[in-house]
Chains A and B, each alone.
Chain A
């Protein structure tokens, strides 16, 4: 029997559940069944959830804010902060339910969960989701919530400087429910991609390729910023971006190592892989830029680091240290070219390189996961290079293609719908004068 989610469970959990089932006979007058709760796992997962939340607020908020012009800095931070708010509420109401519960219809279950957990009514103090059998469901729900928050928030990178706040909020909401939740269910919630054997430890496709694709579509639908190519659109304060990138780096340990859902060997290896890949990518972007552009920029080294974080995300719990190194080195160089050259060549205004870093990095990481996954590191995986399983590459490609196509089309439809009802883009005057004062009535004073 194939355990599509055993990559997240580990042997301890399976053993614990098996013990529970074995004790399903007539109740004795004596001991109640042992509590499957593991204190170490639970402590780590609560911590991980907080770390991932930190990635959005203020990690992503600062990372993006520093890169925009001063007149839009507050509006950019508002996008991350408000996304956190609205997505939390929607996740609680219905998001968790449709992503991470099982649909009673076997066919529908491939694509979407159930409404059973509407308003988290069924989440009791001691309920446990089998996907993470040693921690409370409240913790698992919260952990997955933080992923649901950051994924749409990432798209803000593509629509920077020109989207209405109202349209943004509708976009976040509809995208969460119709794009993120189904895809999360497909890969992690016992849906068809996970069952197929797709390896995505912490969200290379579910989070990054997904957000990146949405970013590309959004950049194309919204159109270029006024003054692109003529106006000075230099980052107004890269200090904020460095702080943001650093918070992303540290928070990402919750993202990757937390995806083990246990505190043990897998989490440890995922953390090590994350650090190695990120540093390697930062250095490889820096070196490529040094050769091509003549100077190693600060923006380059932090962008390289983020590219590495993105690429190692799907691979983190499946690869060894050497795999992590190769993935990182590749990600820095490849994402440099996709963010700098390809964007210039094709000419779309992906303002903060949402597609260039998250889309390309996520797809690259997903494919390299197929290359470097090692059965010795994670027994639910068999990769090409180490285990001699080239078939995994094809499965990874299905994952990448499915996410790209569904997200691409779905995002387009959602954007067009919002555009028809309330309009997506701010007026030219508002865009030129700035979003902070016009959308929020506030400004940053010197």
Chain B
């Protein structure tokens, strides 16, 4: 099992969710985060006082999947989250040791 962590632009959330839904992905966790990479921040000016804001708002999506489903999911995320502009984000894939459904106690494949 793998955990896909994707940092995307906030307005792309609905598209990404729909794309993953089509693949049969049942759930995800979304967090509001701040970050930067190659996309620089912007400058705000308040009555002459300038503030360089380097952190930009992003969304972090976490999805737990069977290993076989990862490639299709990654392609779906790329297709739906991409704009072609700097700042589209990144995807991290990490191994998942164990997954448990709290309500029933089901584990691993049954819990995904």
Contacts and interface: CB of A to CB of B under 8 A. Distances in A.
B48 A339 contact: yes
Contacts of A314: none
A343 B46 contact: no
B48 A341 contact: yes
A204 B62 CA distance: 59
Contact of A339 (B47, B51, B53): B47
Interface in A284-307: 293, 295, 297, 299-300, 303
Contact of B51 (A67, A232, A299, A353): A232
Contacts of A339: 47-48
Nearest to A238: B46
Interface residues of A, number: 17
Interface in B22-73: 44-49, 51, 53
Contact of A340 (B44, B48, B53): B48
A325 B44 CA distance: 31
A303 B51 contact: no
Nearest to B45: A293
B31 to A, nearest CB: 14
A340 B53 CA distance: 20
A235 B45 CA distance: 10
B44 A234 contact: yes
A407 B46 CA distance: 29
B46 A297 contact: yes
Contacts of A297: 45-46
A293 B46 CA distance: 10
Nearest to A357: B47
Contacts of A293: 45, 48
Contacts, number: 28
Contacts of A299: 46-47
Main secondary structure of the interface of B (DSSP, over half): strand
Contacts of B51: 232-234
A283 to B, nearest CB: 17
Residue of B45, B46, B48, B49 contacting most chain A CB atoms (<10 Å): B48
Contacts of B46: 67, 234-235, 297, 299
Nearest to B48: A340
B47 A300 contact: yes
Contacts of B44: 234
B53 A353 contact: no
B22 to A, nearest CB: 33
A234 B47 CA distance: 10
A233 B49 contact: yes
Contacts of A232: 51, 53
Contacts of B45: 293, 295, 297
A292 to B, nearest CB: 9
Nearest to A232: B51
Contacts of A343: 48
A303 B47 contact: yes
B41 to A, nearest CB: 11
A344 interface: yes
Nearest to B49: A233
Nearest to B44: A234
Interface string A39-73: 00000000000000000000000000001000000
Interface string A174-191: 000000000000000000
A107 to B, nearest CB: 45
Nearest to B54: A232
Interface in B3-25: none
Contacts of A235: 46
Interface string B66-93: 0000000000000000000000000000
Interface of A: 67, 232-235, 293, 295, 297, 299-300, 303, 339-341, 343-344, 353
Given A233-B49, A297-B46, A340-B47, 14 more contacts: A67-B46, A232-B53, A233-B51, A234-B49, A234-B51, A293-B48, A295-B45, A297-B45, A299-B46, A300-B47, A303-B47, A339-B47, A343-B48, A344-B48
Q: Which 9 A-B pairs have the closest CB atoms?
A: A340-B48, A234-B51, A232-B51, A339-B47, A299-B46, A234-B44, A340-B47, A344-B48, A235-B46
12 contacts: A234-B44, A234-B46, A234-B51, A234-B53, A235-B46, A293-B45, A299-B46, A300-B47, A339-B47, A339-B48, A340-B47, A341-B48
